[in-house]
Structure 1
Amino acid sequence: MGHIRIAELLLLGLYPALLCASIGADLARRIIPNVVVVCLIVAFAAVTQLMPVPDLPFRLAAAGAVTALGFSLFAEDIIGAGDAKLAGAIVLWVDPLHLPLFVLATGTIGALLGIAAAARHRLAGPAGAELPDRHRTSLPYGVALAGAGLLIHPLSSLLHP
């Protein structure tokens, strides 16, 4: 199997599967497993070894900036640490020119999650008190991040070298 075939497996199989795993874990437990984040980073490193990534310095800088911003938000208890790590790992895979689209898609999905959570809370009434506290007071923002990553992945220059 050639280098390009392995890169295609990572790009078309592993990356989307890892994003789906983070969505599932965040919905179920409000936790994004570190193994998912590490696998995203290692898989991206493998892609850079298997094919040219001309904008690699920009991707690394963007991922560092997003991770730093994420941990600033985590320090203020606005997002979870898993969300901060996941955001930085996903940005490695996002074309730098698509970062505004990624942010817009993440915000839109996050807003929809917020509306759904508010509606669920309102409809549940007193029965909603039975939910675990973290499910009542937090949004699974990893869903928004990973969902945005999935939505814009077909536009990636990694898929269209």
Structure 2
Amino acid sequence: MWQEFSWFLIGLLAAALVAAAIGDWRSRIIPNRLNAMIALLAIPYWWTSGLGLWPGVALQLGVAALVFGAFFILFYFDWMGGGDVKMAGAVALWLPAPAILQLLVIMSIAGGVLTLALLIPHRIARAAGNPEIPYGIAITFAGLWIIGERFLNQFV
């Protein structure tokens, strides 16, 4: 029974990630409520997945804090939005520590492609300033990729 609820929670995470990407594309804002929901839903996910408090939950919290801190530095230099920082930290609560590096690599590649896709037409049009990059899309892509591997790797 708990395994089914765990998959339900993963489905909610996927839906929240898609909602964040759509919202970020439309308004360049990821609502705090959505990031809070992603973070708080990790708690029942840990429980249904059988993750123990020590070292499991402590490790999840520590790694997510590191991800948040690293992305906060980018926010400080105005290279990333606050909602993106919170979303990256919230998603990190869901993933085992080894998957975080994979998340960051996929997110970086997707973010680079997204940046180029928005920057090139911006430069061609000779628009003023720099375009705002909806990095929540890259975070969503990477998160869904990692989640999807749980389903697809069973066929390898």
Structure 2 residues not aligned, in runs of 5+: none
Q: State TM-score, norm by structure 2.
A: 0.85
Aligned length: 150
Sequence identity (%): 28
Alignment correspondent of 1:139: 133
Q: Which amino acid counterpart does residue 144 of structure 1 have in structure 2?
A: A
Of 25, 28, 33, 1:35 maps to 33
List runs of 5+ in structure 1 lacking aligned partners.
none
Compute the displacement of 1:77 (Å). Answer: 1.2
Is 1:26 the counterpart of 2:27? The answer is: no
Q: What is the alpha-carbon distance in structure 1 between the residues aligned to residue 137 and residue 51 of structure 2?
A: 27
Output one character per residue of 1:18-53: Cα deviation in whole Å (capped at 9) or x when no partner.
Answer: 000110011000000111111111111111222312
Kindly indicate whether the alpha-carbon contact (under 8 Å) linking 2:72 and 2:85 is maintained by their aligned counterparts in 1: yes
**8 A Cα contact 1:94 1:149, kept in partner:** no
Structure 1 runs of 4+ with >4 Å offset: none
Deviation at 1:82, TM superposition (A): 0.4
Residue in structure 1 matched with residue 143 of structure 2 by the alignment:
149
RMSD over aligned Cα, in angstroms? 2.3
TM normalised by structure 1 equals 0.83
1:91, CA displacement in angstroms? 0.7
1:67-146 map, 5 Å: 67-123=68-124, 125=125, 137-146=131-140
CA contact (8 A) 2:111 2:138 kept: yes
